[in-house]
Chains A and B, each alone.
Chain A
Amino acid sequence: MSTDTDGEFDFGGSAIERKRLYGKVFLGLCVSAAMVGIVALIALLADVIYESWGWLTWEFLTYPPSQVADHFVPENYGDLDTGPAGMYPAIVGSIYLIVLTAIFTLFLGVGAAIYLEEYAPDTRLTRFIEANITNLAGVPSIVYGLLGLAMFVRALQTGASLIAGALTLTLLILPIVIVSSQESLRAVPDSMRQASYGTGATKWQTIRNVVLPEAVPGIMTGIILSLSRAIGETAPILMVGAAVSMFTPPDLTSPTGAFSAMPMMIFEWASQPDAAFQHIAAAGIVVLLTILLLMNAAAVLIRNKYDRRA
């Protein structure tokens, strides 16, 4: 059908070509916007993996660090009296840090979310608190580092310890965990709560048996994603005084001891003048990114496994 038919209905005629062109241009812009991010990420990853090639060995994961770049070179491993060098204490430090942070956030974050969502009356004060939790999620991490330094290291006398680091990271991710847990709780349909109350369940029984099981996948996903952000944070643990040259992993039985962590170690190596350390830092980054990706994959798996609606 074309414009020269006498029908009253205009099927678009020449204008349609122009509209289609606009459509294509817009689509192109959107695709390239998406591409910029993806290409940059791939380039970064490729560069880091290339830099670390040959430096990332099993020994790198299982030995303490060294001041001398040569100790990291796999060809030299055999000649060293001190043994190979690696980032073992920092890896263990980061894992301990994350485990402790996970425990603290689980109780504080989920507890706060349950209170705000299920118990708190809808008053101006509650809304004020909720608005401020959202604001806190945007505070730069170095500010949390300063807070941790003042509150835990100084006031509570924890020293530059694992526990101070974990508490600081907890503060950092708590707002995000609270908000995402609240969203998961809110997504549980009210009809479920009513069904439970209707059969004579108490409030706590309803929350424990109906609301939480429904919300847990969402809550877990939120916590894991927040933890994967926390594990890469350098500023807060720098502020509370994570050590750079720890030769033994931190001792969980005395959580007030000194500790090192991966981002701290990488930061230290990257600021060394010796060019060889750039490769060592790259190897550290690959280890960190692998852990991050594994955590994110776990979050996705949990979400897919429990999301019936999907």
Chain B
Amino acid sequence: MSDETSDRRTGLRSTLASVGSERGRFAIGNLLSTNTETTGMTANSGSEAAETTAAERTTDVGADSGAEMSAADRPLGSPQVDNAIIESRDLDVFYGDTQALQGINMDIPEKQVTALIGPSGCGKSTFLRSINRMNDLIDVARVEGELHFHGKNIYDEDVDPVALRRKIGMVFQKPNPFPKSIFDNVAYGLRVQGKDDDIEEQVYTALERAALLDEVEDQLDESGLDLSGGQQQRLCIARAIATDPEVILMDEPASALDPVATSKIEDLVEELAQEYTVAIVTHNMQQAARISDKTAVFLTGGNLVEFDDTNRIFENPESDRVEDYITGKFG
């Protein structure tokens, strides 16, 4: 069962953080157990790389984890986690004069799935984009406050957003494969990052992990645009994980897909959390409940209202507004 995976993981991670992570995982556990065996197999090829990064990571996390969270903007629930890889502290984002995020304070735990839910326009995508500095591409966007990745504020002067994005990959709402072959789509990140030794093997591994290899093995030279919407999105996931980032950000990755394709993506997200930290935006409540370990609820005006274990958010939220939102009274 999941023993072999957890063995490997505890081996990799020497921090106390892992204990918290295991607990978080098993709380949701039952759903996952069927999948873990297969992931365990496919994941092994990547474990070597993971080992080195894990080693680098230990020192960073130990030194800085648990940055202070100001009392004023602290959301309800438990926004601070032990094994945080990302810590948002009083993060404000403005588009011109309008403020889209108001003092966001929350952590994203390592190698778990964190769901961001809330009604349209409440700033979920904005928050996600501020994690890998994609907001830099929007002329009018301005970020204040801090966002730590491995304890380092990514908005410091000396942080190169390109280097950051190589650690924090992204999957977008609308599948956006390049008008290139399936192979070249997956190889794109490897090539631009200069990781192009054994490119073929890495592409196959990524397609396999994205649960797409079986469907496209015979047509790797054909255009990525010829795939169905669901396949395109899994191709984009393969492209994002090919370079082996640490975090994968997903902005409503299934919102443009039919139910069958959606459930494939959901299964995939759960499997990815074995290897990667996943932050996923969704406005599908059932989806959040099914696949995430932690849930952050944003409500109108760019406020993070509550952050907690997914079970707690869905069973017994502290905020009445969150309860109303989750039970479908508004939004």
- Taking the complex as formed, is A200 at the interface, i.e. its CB lies under 8 A from any CB of chain B? yes
Stretch at the interface among B101-109, B188-196, B270-278, B323-331: B188-196
Q: Determine the chain B residues whose CB is within 8 A of the CB of A197 once the complex forms.
A: 134, 137, 162, 165
Interface residues of B in 136-178 (CB under 8 A from A): 137, 139, 162-163, 165-166, 169-172, 174, 176-178
Q: How many residues of A contact B (CB 8 A)?
A: 20
Q: Name the residue on A nearest B164 (C-beta).
A: A200
Inter-chain contact A198/B225, CB cutoff 8 Å: no
Chain B 239-258 interface 0/1 with A at a Cβ cutoff of 8 Å (1 = within): 11001010000000000000
A200 touches B189 (CB 8 A): yes
B295 interfacial contact with A, CB 8 Å: no
A200 touches B236 (CB 8 A): no
Query: Are A199 and B179 interface neighbours, CB within 8 A?
Result: no
A-B contact count (CB 8 A): 68
Secondary structure class of chain A's binding surface, majority of residues: helix
- How many residues on the B side are at the interface (Cβ–Cβ under 8 A)? 28
Closest CB of chain A to B248's CB: distance in Å? 10
Selected contact of A198 from candidates B139, B172, B177, B179, CB within 8 Å: B172
Q: Is the CB of A191 within 8 A of B178?
A: no
At the interface, yes or no: A297 with Cβ under 8 Å from chain B?
no
Inter-chain contact B176/A191, CB cutoff 8 Å: yes
A199 smallest CB distance to B (angstroms): 4
Does the CB pair A199–B165 fall under 8 Å?
A: yes
Q: Is B112 an interface residue (CB 8 A)?
A: no
Give the segment of A81-89, A104-112, A162-170, A202-210 that binds chain B. A202-210
Q: Find the residue from B163, B177, B189 having the highest chain A CB count within 10 A.
A: B189
Which of A189, A193, A201, A210 has the most chain B CB atoms inside 10 A of its CB? A201
Given contacts A191-B174, A194-B172, A199-B169, contact A209 B188 (CB under 8 A): yes
- In the bound complex, do residue A200 and residue B192 qualify as a contact, i.e. CB atoms below 8 Å apart? yes
Rounded to whole angstroms, the CA-CA distance of A210 and B192 in the bound complex is: 11
Specify which of B137, B162, B171 is in contact with A200 (CB 8 Å cutoff).
B162
Q: With A and B bound together, what is the CA distance between A199 and B165 in angstroms?
A: 7
Tell me whether B134 and A195 are in contact (CB under 8 A). no
Closest-by-CB residue of A relative to B188 is A199
A194-B137, A195-B172 in contact; A200/B178 too (CB < 8 A)? no
Q: List residues of chain A with CB under 8 Å of any chain B CB.
A: 121-122, 189, 191-202, 205, 209-210, 214, 308
Known contacts A197-B162, A198-B169, then 4 further A-B pairs from the complex at CB < 8 Å, ordered by chain A residue: A194-B176, A197-B165, A205-B192, A210-B178
Q: What residues make up the interface of B, taking CB atoms closer than 8 Å to A?
A: 132, 134, 137, 139, 162-163, 165-166, 169-172, 174, 176-179, 188-189, 191-193, 225, 236, 239-240, 243, 245
* 15 sample A-B contacts, Cβ–Cβ < 8 Å, listed by A number: A121-B139, A122-B139, A194-B172, A195-B178, A196-B192, A197-B134, A198-B134, A198-B171, A199-B169, A199-B193, A199-B239, A200-B245, A201-B192, A202-B162, A308-B179
